[in-house]
């Protein structure tokens, strides 16, 4: 059986790139953690006494998982034999019973961790620095966005029942919006907009052409302490697996589409980060708007999921489709970037 292009390139893309994994606000306290599934392993990022550490979610002793929850606050402690981790070191239960096996070298399988502003990125064996991968302009945009963010208001996770490339390409093109998002995203009446390309990354800027909606969104500006946000809809693609989208900069939706072991499943996670309020008293006043944004986002992602389920994994390759719309430029750019790894 022929190996699919998406399967051939997935491992290299996972190993060779930096991947956005969280925001510092999610790990504000000692022992705060978040967990992600990617292909056949899990990544945990934890606040260890003020230091952020990313590691494989397996105890180095016998491979039991430390964490099963998606996020929370707890000690790094193996419930099998009591091994734990704190202050940068593994603490071995009954250490005197380990003779002649180099137990003093026991350690977590750590991953590399870097920051862009307050965004956290992890990597296994990156081919470049984080700043080189993002490029100066995208790096600066993410720094600005991360500083505007208050905290995570919604954590949404479930498997998309399709290949990761199908789910991601759906997020990359607006051509489907009028058909799939009739009562959600399409109500903004997004214009054709402009695509900016930065190496393998890209950004779509689109005006909100529904004048009534645009006027209502503009009226919210005084409630938020944002830094020069785009006055419309913005969608940032961070190659290879992540998106960041926002309308008027009042909140940012960060989405990860990580490959799984199956071509019929994608590890999908979205988080909604509202922007900081310009005054503390506005937090309660804008809470209903934040909840509404979270609810709409969830509905949009479910609409995407339902259509993506209809697309077989065999329909994707690194070659461009035979027929493409001018609204699918980011899709073509994505395939060209993937093709460089399909050797």
**pLDDT tens per residue across span 218-231:** 999 999 999 989 99
Distance CA 168, CA 255 (A): 10
Report the relative pairing of strands 84-86 and 32-38 from DSSP bridges.
unpaired
Model pLDDT, residue 223: 97
Query: Would 48 be classed as within a structural domain?
Result: no
pLDDT band at 29, cuts 50/70/90? very high
Which among 90, 88, 106, 21 has a CA at the least distance from the CA of 48?
88
In a domain, 276, yes or no: yes
Q: What is the CATH number of the domain that holds 191?
A: 3.30.530.20
Distance CA 1, CA 217 (A): 52
Residue pLDDT, tens place only, 299-321: 999 999 999 999 999 999 999 99
67-123 pLDDT, tens digit each: 999 999 999 999 999 999 998 898 888 888 898 898 899 899 999 999 999 999 999
Q: Establish if 294 belongs to a structural domain.
A: yes
* pLDDT confidence of residue 96: 84
* Among the ranges given (46-50, 101-105, 184-188, 262-266), the one the predictor scored with the smallest mean pLDDT: 101-105
Domain residues for 155?
5-16+150-339
* 328: pLDDT strictly greater than 90: yes
* Portion of the chain with pLDDT greater than 90, in percent: 93
144 occurs within a structural domain:
no
Residue 2, pLDDT > 80, answer no
Total domains in the chain come to 1
Residue-level pLDDT at 343 = 81
Supply the mean pLDDT for the chain. Answer: 96
Quick one: tokens of 53?
A: 């550490």
State the Cα–Cα distance between residues 241 and 259, nearest whole angstrom. 8
What is the rounded average pLDDT of the residues 262-282? 97
1, pLDDT greater than 70: no
Joined together, the tokens standing for residue 180 give 């799939």
Rg for the chain, CA atoms, rounded: 21
In a domain? residue 141? no
Q: How far apart are CA 69 and CA 194, in angstroms?
A: 40
Q: Is residue 311 left, alpha or beta, with left meaning phi > 0 and alpha meaning psi from -120 to 50?
A: beta
Domain contains 176: yes
The residue-averaged pLDDT of 46-55 equals 97
Query: Does residue 56 lie in a domain region?
Result: no
In a domain, 65, yes or no: no
The pair of three-digit structure tokens given for residue 199, joined into one six-digit string: 């190496």
């Amino acid at each position: 059986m022929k190996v699919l292009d998406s399967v051939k390139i997935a491992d290299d893309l996972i190993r060779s790139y930096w991947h956005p994994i969280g925001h510092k606000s999610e790990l504000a306290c000692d022992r705060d953690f978040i967990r992600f599934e990617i292909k056949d392993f899990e990544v945990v990022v934890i606040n260890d006494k003020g230091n952020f550490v990313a590691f494989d979610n397996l105890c180095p002793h016998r491979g039991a998982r430390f964490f099963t929850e998606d996020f929370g606050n707890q000690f790094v402690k193996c419930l099998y034999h009591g091994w734990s981790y704190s202050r940068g070191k593994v603490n071995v239960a009954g250490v005197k019973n380990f003779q002649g096996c180099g137990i003093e070298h026991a350690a977590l399988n750590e991953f590399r961790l870097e920051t862009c502003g307050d965004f956290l990125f992890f990597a296994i064996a990156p081919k470049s620095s984080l700043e080189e991968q993002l490029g100066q302009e995208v790096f600066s945009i993410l720094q600005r966005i991360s500083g505007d963010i208050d905290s995570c208001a919604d954590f949404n996770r479930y498997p998309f029942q399709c290949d990761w490339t199908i789910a991601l390409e759906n997020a990359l093109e607006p051509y489907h919006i009028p058909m799939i998002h009739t009562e959600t995203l399409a109500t903004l009446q997004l214009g054709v907009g402009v695509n900016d390309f930065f190496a393998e990354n890209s950004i779509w800027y689109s005006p909100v052409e529904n004048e009534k909606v645009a006027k209502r969104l503009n009226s919210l500006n005084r409630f938020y302490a944002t830094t020069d946000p785009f006055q419309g809809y913005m969608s940032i693609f961070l190659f290879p697996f992540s998106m960041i989208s926002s309308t008027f900069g009042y909140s940012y939706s960060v989405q990860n589409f990580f490959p799984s072991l199956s071509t019929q499943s994608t590890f999908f996670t979205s988080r909604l980060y509202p922007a900081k309020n310009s005054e503390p008293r506005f937090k309660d006043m804008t809470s209903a708007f934040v909840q509404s944004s979270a609810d709409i986002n969830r509905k949009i992602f479910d609409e995407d999921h339902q259509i993506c389920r209809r697309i077989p994994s065999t329909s994707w390759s690194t070659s461009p489709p035979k027929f493409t719309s001018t609204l699918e430029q980011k899709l073509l750019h994505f395939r060209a970037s993937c093709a460089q790894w399909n050797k």
